[in-house]
Amino acid sequence: MRGIDLEYLTRKRFFKELSNTLNELDDKYLVTEIIKKPSFAEGKILKSTLEEMRKINARKCK
């Protein structure tokens, strides 16, 4: 398999798992606690952003 194909499959698998996890969760803010750490830049940025949003929301709810 070529590198580009492998990169695509890695991203596709991550986003599919993320989508499935969100669909199963009642408390969507917990998604960052459940999903695996992504190995690619866009996934890391997304996970980091979701974690920051969760922290900000937690502070506002206090």
pLDDT at 31: 94
- Using the predicted structure, report yes or no on whether residue 1 has a pLDDT greater than 80: no
Chain segment 9-57, per-residue pLDDT in tens = 999 999 999 999 999 999 998 999 999 999 999 999 999 999 999 998 8
Could you tell me which residue, 2 or 10, shows the higher pLDDT?
A: 10
DSSP state of 51: H
Burial call 37-47: b when 16+ CB within 10 Å, e when fewer:
ebeeeebeebb
pLDDT at 58: 84
